[in-house]
């Protein structure tokens, strides 16, 4: 019996990485912070944290429920607390919500205690990824595309302050995004090294 192993997916898994700092993914809704962050953590064998998921489980409510019941300022205060706490936890990958990097306090905490990576994507790509979902309260407006565009225009200059930028186009799979982020991280020996 012949046994053919298809190793394309596991190629390179014997490379061992050493993560020196928590990597904080920032960028717009739909950039892939949650999906790419989870896959990146699995690739590196480090913990995965998502500030939105932490807020939801601590409150035992969904993000839309929190926005509706307590308002955005309450959510933003929780978000800062959670980010501060997660930056003190074990080094890993921390995916934030799209608004998190807009806060100067959050940017300061992230820059001092981790490294920020902006997943940059065009407005069209973002829209295609978020338009079918009703989980983002900021897009519950009469014209969600216009709302996303206004947020995009206001936020891009702030995301551009991130330590590293990785392009997320419409054709690149999540696993290929992980390759790109790992390569970007490897340009910074203070962030990630191959052992």
Ligand X SMILES: Nc1ncnc2c1ncn2[C@@H]1O[C@H](COP(=O)(O)OP(=O)(O)O)[C@@H](O)[C@H]1O
Which residues does the annotation place in the binding site for Mg(2+)? Answer: 34
> Which are the contacts of 186, defined by CB distance < 8 A and separation ≥ 6?
192, 193, 194
- Of 19, 27, 28, 34, the one binding Mg ion (CB under 5 A) is 34
Q: Is 116 in the site for ligand S3P (CB under 6 A)?
A: no
* Shortest Å, Cβ 15 to ligand X: 22
* Shortest Å, Cβ 26 to ligand S3P: 9
* Shortest Å, Cβ 135 to ligand X: 8
* Shortest Å, Cβ 95 to ligand X: 6
Q: How many helices (H) and strands (E) does the chain have?
A: 8, 7
Q: Is 99 in the site for ligand X (CB under 6 A)?
A: no
Phi, psi of 129 (to 5 degrees): -85, -25
Q: Is 172 in the site for Mg ion (CB under 5 A)?
A: no
Q: Is 173 in the site for ligand X (CB under 6 A)?
A: yes
Side-chain half-sphere exposure of 147, counting CA atoms within 13 A? 12
Which single residue brings its beta carbon nearest to ligand X? Answer: 32
> Annotated binding residues, as ranges?
30-35, 52, 76, 98, 136, 155
- Count of residues in the chain: 195
Q: Is 108 in the site for ligand X (CB under 6 A)?
A: no
Helix axes 72-88, 51-59, angle to 10 degrees: 110
* Shortest Å, Cβ 25 to ligand S3P: 9
Nearer to ligand S3P, 20 or 164 (CB): 164
- For residue 46, CA distances in Å to 2, 138, 153 come to 36, 31, 33
Which residues is 164 bridged to in the sheet?
117
Q: Which of residues 3-62 bind ligand S3P (CB under 6 A)?
A: 29, 33-34, 52
Helix axes 33-44, 174-186, angle to 10 degrees: 60
- Of 32, 37, 97, 163, the one binding ligand S3P (CB under 6 A) is 97
Q: Is 12 helix (H, G, I), strand (E, B) or coil?
A: coil
């Amino acid at each position: 019996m012949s046994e053919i192993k298809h190793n394309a997916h596991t190629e390179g898994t014997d490379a061992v990485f050493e993560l020196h700092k928590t990597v904080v993914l920032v960028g717009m809704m739909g950039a892939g912070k949650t999906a790419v962050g989870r896959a990146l953590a699995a690739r590196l064998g480090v913990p995965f944290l998502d500030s939105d998921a932490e807020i939801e489980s601590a409150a035992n409510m969904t993000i839309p429920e929190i926005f509706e019941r307590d308002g955005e300022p309450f959510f933003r205060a929780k978000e800062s607390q959670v980010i501060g706490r997660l930056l003190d936890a074990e080094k890993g990958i921390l995916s934030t919500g799209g608004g998190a990097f807009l806060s100067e306090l959050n940017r300061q905490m992230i820059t001092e205690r981790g490294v920020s990576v902006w997943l940059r994507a065009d407005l069209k790509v973002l829209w295609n990824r978020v338009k079918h979902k009703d989980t983002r309260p900021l897009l519950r407006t009469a014209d969600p595309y216009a709302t996303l565009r206004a947020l995009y225009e206001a936020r891009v200059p702030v995301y551009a302050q991130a330590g590293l930028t990785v392009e997320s186009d419409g054709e690149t799979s999540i696993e290929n995004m992980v390759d790109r982020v790992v390569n970007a991280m490897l340009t910074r020996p203070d962030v990630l090294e191959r052992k």
